[in-house]
Structure 1
């Protein structure tokens, strides 16, 4: 598809540059904190502020120093780098049989709002300074030759005590002086992944950050599909993961909440059915709705009903074709196909009802053109207090809660201002990233009373005035499913 999936469908071509603003525009109610950096040993950060446009400031923040080194971690039979005490003790014996000395490390993953703490054990061999990584790699090879599965670990990634360093970018958007708007973008289509830089440029955005998780467990050509609610310009393009955190954008307001979506179809004969998904691969016996924004063919092996803007069934076909402009396709396989064959006939009219409900207020959102929604991944701060909802959002593992990764964070302040932050990571000696607890503490420090974690890792990206300002851990910017764009008007 040639048009871009951006609120309003318009590309704003204005060229934006970093400028110094008049004094009147600098009277912001949003201030960068003066207290010590909240992570590690609470060092004083260095920061550089750039006024981007009215109401938007960019902070380049660096804190901490590199003191972490390397160790060799022995993997358990499960393939994880941790296990129970008996399993770990068995691995210690295997390491010693190979002629090396092992240490048994007790690790407590902190409890979060919806998951208790977890105690596990790791087996590690040696400790080397940052400059001696090759020695760790040599020991790892010796252990591998002895039949053990091991990996070389940088201790700054552990999520335990560290001195950093941290490389952070923060955009503060002041509710009192900002005159632009917030939208979501899926790029050229739902199915295709695209960089934040590309989406920001096409949308005329002054700021852009990556959005929520996208589906890496589907066919390669479909991996731009958001995992969770996506609304662009008032149109639901991906269904909710029930209860998952999301950010609701309307004009220049941003609200963090949890959402539920329901989509039903009513045939001309009065029969109703649940639509199981929107713009994603269909599972057995499902009904899935595809919109023109999908950008891929419907699945094969089922039945398609092609529906026009008025709900008229203009065609019935064997599935596996594209969705043409101005049309929707209701696809069914198995029981879903049987329902279509019985209740959706050529030239009949069907009605598709879409509802997006805010689970905090229990009210449905009005699907008007100014509504945009991006799914988050984990709730971090609620009503000014750390409240990490990792289990509800499907991320309550040791790796996700405790270990440090690059993070993209979004928060709102008491007066409705928006804070966007990236914490780069996975770059030993340069920046260590953050775990969930650290990310929550960091957003509270910045003044957020509500905050969520967006997609992170190699997806973390922040673009300001058409320039990528952070350093993605992949070494270059990754294509992602969606982005949050800040428009100048």
Structure 2
């Protein structure tokens, strides 16, 4: 269990009451914050506030950085931070600065290394679905292909945190619904801009993918990320409704506007071999929500740790690490973005059970875990400064390039 000593300021009385009610019962208070700690909430813009505080955790002291974002403030919005391509990475501060964000945190887990597949380069692409400004960028890889810690029971790679066109935040799941129409019939689409395709499927790669090699998409299996790459692959390039090129192995390089590259493995490759240059092909795809009835303006992957005010059963309560999380409160009208500090004195971090407790004490009803460790970063443009800079100390000593993040934008 955890307990936090907050500095005096707005919102402190509510959290003190929650602690008194036993939300984090039995934990010890922490001593004074390090030099430079914020005293209560610091207003960054209308509807956006920042605070930092200490946490007494099982593995030792941790230090948290929190952004409170009020989505009912009309000048505030939340969007996907990403470097302009799915298979690319950049720092949180760099993406926030380039996109004009006020603040942000890192996002989804991602394809960070490929030691099991010699000669195959890591793509840097994220695990779960992603939506930017209402446009579906990618779908989820198979569960056995994900990078990151073990998932809590009942969760998967399709889980997302998102904000709908109704400006309300929520947790959901997004599944790919797509097909490839060919002269020989329709083929189900098994992937969209993913670093790993289901065995026997056909996946679509659009200009949003970027220039990274598509070979990684045919490596591993649905249950074993380290399994060898498939030796039965085929690639078809479609432009303006016609096949313009075919190849036996997946390629690389930018994909031109108006072009879709289809990659097949095993049974999917066998189906694509039936197509030749000049064949008429139509590709359709969309991401379908399991819960929301409104379209998503923004979404990214991770996994839930708190739902309806209750921690998920089976959350890890033994492994402590630097973490990033987002919490949803007030019926989706308020967010809490949490990033732990990676400085040596705090690097032991929190367990996932402690993260869920911390987010609940902040006021979250639902909470969602994002990538942690060396990826954990919170960046913002503080009052009186012109640049977006990291607020926490990344545990690797410098910001790690990541594929995406949550960006907080303000028109004020």
Structure showing greater radius of gyration is 1
Q: Cα distance 1:57–1:212, how it changes in 2: closer, same or farther (>3 A)?
A: same
State the Cα distance separating 1:312 from its structure 2 match. Answer: 3.4
SS in 2 for 1:222: coil
Q: Cα distance 1:284–1:437, how it changes in 2: closer, same or farther (>3 A)?
A: closer
Mapped partners of 2:366, 2:31: distance in 1:
25
Q: Cα distance 1:264–1:389, how it changes in 2: closer, same or farther (>3 A)?
A: farther
| Structure 1 gap segments, 5+ residues each | 1-27, 65-158, 391-399
When the two structures are superposed, what TM-score results if normalisation uses the length of structure 1?
A: 0.64
The farther-off stretch of 430-439 and 243-252 is 243-252
Larger RCO: Structure 1 or Structure 2 (Cα < 8 Å, ≥ 6 residues apart)? 2
Residue in 2 that maps onto 1:231: 131
Q: 1:30 touches 1:172 (CA, 8 Å); kept in 2?
A: no
State the Cα distance separating 1:282 from its structure 2 match. Answer: 5.2
Q: 1:192 touches 1:221 (CA, 8 Å); kept in 2?
A: no
SS in 2 for 1:258: strand
Mapped partners of 2:196, 2:281: distance in 1:
22
SS in 1 for 2:98: helix
Q: 2:123 touches 2:213 (CA, 8 Å); kept in 1?
A: no
2:395 matches 1:473:
yes
State the Cα distance separating 1:305 from its structure 2 match. Answer: 1.9
Q: 1:306 touches 1:315 (CA, 8 Å); kept in 2?
A: yes
State the Cα distance separating 1:256 from its structure 2 match. Answer: 1.2
What are the residue-to-residue correspondences of 1:139-218 with 2, within 5 Å? 161=58, 164-218=60-114
2:251 matches 1:320:
yes
| Structure 2 gap segments, 5+ residues each | 1-9, 144-154, 219-230, 382-387
2:376 matches 1:460:
yes
Mapped partners of 1:30, 1:357: distance in 2:
40
State the Cα distance separating 1:337 from its structure 2 match. Answer: 2.4
When the two structures are superposed, what TM-score results if normalisation uses the length of structure 2?
A: 0.75
Q: 2:176 touches 2:190 (CA, 8 Å); kept in 1?
A: no
Q: Cα distance 1:358–1:185, how it changes in 2: closer, same or farther (>3 A)?
A: same
Q: 2:54 touches 2:61 (CA, 8 Å); kept in 1?
A: yes
What are the residue-to-residue correspondences of 1:290-309 with 2, within 5 Å? 290-295=205-210, 296-299=212-215, 302-308=233-239
Mapped partners of 2:187, 2:130: distance in 1:
24
Mapped partners of 2:12, 2:323: distance in 1:
22
Partner of residue 41 from structure 1, selected from 4, 21, 28: 28
State the Cα distance separating 1:281 from its structure 2 match. Answer: 4.7
Partner of residue 420 from structure 1, selected from 337, 342, 346: 337
Mapped partners of 1:236, 1:58: distance in 2:
30
Q: Cα distance 1:58–1:188, how it changes in 2: closer, same or farther (>3 A)?
A: same
Q: 1:8-51: per-residue Cα shift (whole Å, max 9, x none)?
A: xxxxxxxxxxxxxxxxxxxx999872345948414477552221
SS in 1 for 2:355: helix
Q: 2:67 touches 2:338 (CA, 8 Å); kept in 1?
A: yes
Mapped partners of 1:264, 1:297: distance in 2:
23
* Cα RMSD (Å): 3.0
2:308 matches 1:383:
yes
